[in-house]
Amino acid sequence: MRQPLIGLTTYGCNDRGRHELPAEYSESVVRAGAVPVLLPPVGGRELAESWLERLDGVILTGGGDLDPALYGGHEHPTVYNLDPARDTAEMAVARAALERSLPILAICRGLQVVNTVLGGTLYEDLPAEFESAVAHRVIPHTPTRHGVRVEPGTRLASILGASETESVSWHHQGIRSLGEGLKPIAHADDGLIEAAELPAHPWCIGVQWHPELSAAEDRAQQRLFDAFVEQARLG
């Protein structure tokens, strides 16, 4: 049986001239029985479409912030690692994947990309704009864990095997208003949207946490990659 080819968007070009991505993403895809293909942010719509012709699914990965101008937001001193090339490339990949009905798994920044493409908006900085008792990140760069309530009866609840899960989290932005067609399917205890799906699409799920960081030891998180790859295999 042919292993599905899964595109994973990467970080922008760093100061050493490299496009990089944390290994946990690729490792999670390989455990799910697929082949990871890294997609660097080097092109626009035409290049994205040519890549997606060869792929069976796309993972929009985490990373730095989206430019607030893309969703009608405001500048904020905590906004970091802005990368116009990555914004342009990932939004092109997201649009093309949505139009081609390719399976999409959107992780952290990736969920924010999908939400923005569909016309939604983000909180630029959760601590400043969202009164929360939940630590969604720990400075300077330490992933933190918190509970997530998943809507019963949703595809995500079925995949995880429960209506509650422990997430590994690192983000200071999140969904303010949902993009067109997106449905919220999980929340943190403070009410922040932690996952969303696009019911009109065959398989498009976005999570605000980082399942790749715990998938090696947390079977529920690995099942998210497994279910995504299975959909990619079915075409």
Residue of 108, 124, 172, 197 marked catalytic: 108
Tens digit of each residue's pLDDT (9 = 90 or more) over 51-99: 999 999 999 999 988 999 999 988 887 777 789 999 999 999 999 999 9
CA distance 59 to 46: 19
CA distance 164 to 147: 7
Query: Angle formed by the axes of helices 84-100 and 45-52, to 10°?
Result: 50
Is-contact 94 61, C-beta < 8 A?
A: no
pTM of the model: 0.95
Looking at residue 140, what is its pLDDT?
Answer: 66
Look up 212 and say whether it is catalytic: yes
Percent of the chain at pLDDT > 70 equals 96
Q: Is 145 helix (H, G, I), strand (E, B) or coil?
A: strand
- Joined tokens for residue 209: 């946490």
Look up 141 and say whether it is catalytic: no
Residue of 136, 171, 201, 210 marked catalytic: 210
Domain boundaries, the chain: 5-234
Residues 138-147: what's their mean pLDDT? Answer: 77
pLDDT at residue 32 greater than cutoff 70: yes
Domain 5-234 classification at class level: alpha beta
Q: Is the dihedral of CA 218, 37, 198, 146 positive or negative?
A: positive
Looking at residue 133, what is its pLDDT?
Answer: 66
- Joined tokens for residue 188: 């943190």
Q: Which of 11-15, 21-25, 154-158, 159-163 has the lowest average pLDDT?
A: 11-15
Look up 204 and say whether it is catalytic: no
